[in-house]
Amino acid sequence: MKILKHPHKKQWDRIIHRPLTDNTQLFKVVQDILNDIKQRGDKAIKEYELKFDNVQLDKLEVSVEEKNLAEQSIPDQLRRAILTSKKNIEKFHSAQKILLPKIETSAGIVCWQKVTPIEKVGLYVPGGTAPLFSTVLMLAIPAKIACCKEIILCTPPNSDGNIHPAILFAAKETKVDRIFKIGGIQAIGAMAYGTHSIPQVYKILGPGNQYVTAAKQLVSLNGIAIDMPAGPSEIEVIADETANPIFVAADLLSQAEHGVDSQAILLTLSEKFAKQVLWELTQQLQTLPRKTIAQKALLNSKIIILQNQQEIIELTNQYAPEHLIIETSNYKDLAEQIINAGSVFLGHYTPESAGDYVSGTNHTLPTNSYAKSYSGVNLDSFTKKITFQEITKEGIKQSAPTIEIMAENEQLQAHKNAVTFRKLTIDNI
């Protein structure tokens, strides 16, 4: 992990560049696979599962027997932890329900919005090198609170054709309707187009690697909504000399161990503190089971020493991190100036891993600077709003001149007539 001291602003874009592959080739590969799935359905999916996940599958859907066996094999301690996390996530997301009032915009004109659930949603839970059962909670709980009618889940199996029991237990507890043993591009294609075994959905949500992200973006061009282009995980830490370098190093490594294409950034004003963190990173890295993965991720990561807090704020908002931890004496003041971030963790005792598991906020967040324009997954991700308006006779009479003038000047005569005919009818009554 490199230490960069007082880089010029002209260098910032290059310094905070994410470790991405060539998108031109990436999208071509992904599109070819999606086209194949669209044409050949289950047969293509099984072939890609063998190719990418090294597993020969007879059936793609998880059976009732598999679900029951998974529930029996969950250790009590893990079971309790999952249920505690579930309770907090439910509490936070239930509080996001909004009652929308009816508004009289003018005399006789009343407008309102109705919140309706997205009927069919597909949830993607990555597998790869770690079983992310917490992501099941983060996606399925708000989907259920929103009252989505059909919730399906895709997640890659291991080489034996099995899904981690904690994933299946979390899916059962959150009342996921159907679970399929499919990962990667093929999972996104299956949910987007539908096959003999897998139902088509209206929206796909969930994180994944660059191939999953590209697949989501491509299917979104053909009428399937997605939550966001969530790719490899990333974290930024802002810290001063009041922070504990042990904590900061652990926070940086908590994202580095996600995958080799993850990224960790530390911003500080103190060169002394930067060196303390670098030393602590080296020590903690040696004890990690996922040491090799974290080491490779740290090659994409940096400690940046800046000259003042204003530079820290500017660079943070330019980077737009997925996760942002502020470990400074004035963390509340700095937090008020943050406008681009997925989720923010404040103070010396708020690790990002708390947000991953137990605080109740959602950990499915925008990466790769998409926090400049996207929110993380929340209750609204599973709903849509329909507008309504009702106009009385008096209301249409009062508003007719405005509508007629605007329609006439846009050269839309039928628009004008729709109002004029009503007004004339009212006048003749």
CATH of the domain at 213: 3.40.50.1980
Binding-site residues for NAD(+) sit at 124, 186, 209
Q: Is 139 exposed, middle or buried (0-12, 13-18, 19+ CB in 10 A)?
A: buried
418 lies in the same domain as 398: yes
The residues annotated as belonging to the active site are 322-323
* 357 inside domain: no
Binding-site residues for Zn(2+) sit at 255, 258, 356, 415
267 lies in the same domain as 414: no
Binding-site residues for substrate sit at 233, 255, 258, 323, 356, 410, 415
Look at the chain and report how many structural domains it folds into.
3
162 lies in the same domain as 73: yes
Q: Nearest Cα to 399, choosing from 106, 112, 103, 111? A: 106
254 lies in the same domain as 191: no
Q: Which residues of 306-321 are buried (b: 16+ CB within 10 A; e: fewer)?
A: beebebbbebbbebbb
330 lies in the same domain as 406: no
* 154 inside domain: yes
Q: Which helix (H) or strand (E) holds 225?
A: strand 225-226
> What is the four-CA torsion angle of 366, 300, 134, 42, rounded to 10 degrees?
80
Which of 179, 213, 231 terminates a domain? The answer is 231
82 lies in the same domain as 199: yes
Binding-site residues sit at 124, 186, 209, 233, 255, 258, 323, 356, 410, 415
Rounded to whole angstroms, the Cα distance separating 97 from 373 reads 22
286 lies in the same domain as 329: yes
Which of 231, 261, 294 terminates a domain? The answer is 231
256 lies in the same domain as 311: yes
With bands split at pLDDT 50, 70 and 90, how would you rate the model's confidence at 24?
Answer: confident
Which residues sit opposite 2 in a β-bridge? 302
Q: Does 232 score more than 90 pLDDT?
A: no
* 65 inside domain: yes
- Report pLDDT digits (tens) over 31-86: 999 999 999 999 999 999 999 999 999 999 999 999 999 989 999 999 999 999 99
Whole-number pLDDT of residue 129? 65
Any idea which residue has 């508004």 for tokens?
A: 103
Q: Nearest Cα to 229, choosing from 109, 388, 375? A: 375
Whole-number pLDDT of residue 100? 87
Contact residues for 315 (Cβ-Cβ < 8 A; gap 6+): 12, 16, 267, 304, 306
411 lies in the same domain as 315: no
* 371 inside domain: no
189 lies in the same domain as 249: no
Q: What mean pLDDT do residues 127-140 have?
A: 88
Q: Which domain holds residue 411?
A: 392-428
181 lies in the same domain as 78: yes
Whole-number pLDDT of residue 128? 64
* 45 inside domain: yes
* 214 inside domain: yes
- Report pLDDT digits (tens) over 308-326: 999 999 999 999 999 999 9
Whole-number pLDDT of residue 381? 98
* 378 inside domain: no
pTM for the model = 0.92
Which of 290, 315, 346 terminates a domain? The answer is 346
* 352 inside domain: no
306 lies in the same domain as 205: no
Q: Which helix (H) or strand (E) holds 356?
A: helix 352-357
Q: Output the six-digit token pair for 211.
A: 């191939």
Q: What mean pLDDT do residues 228-243 have?
A: 92
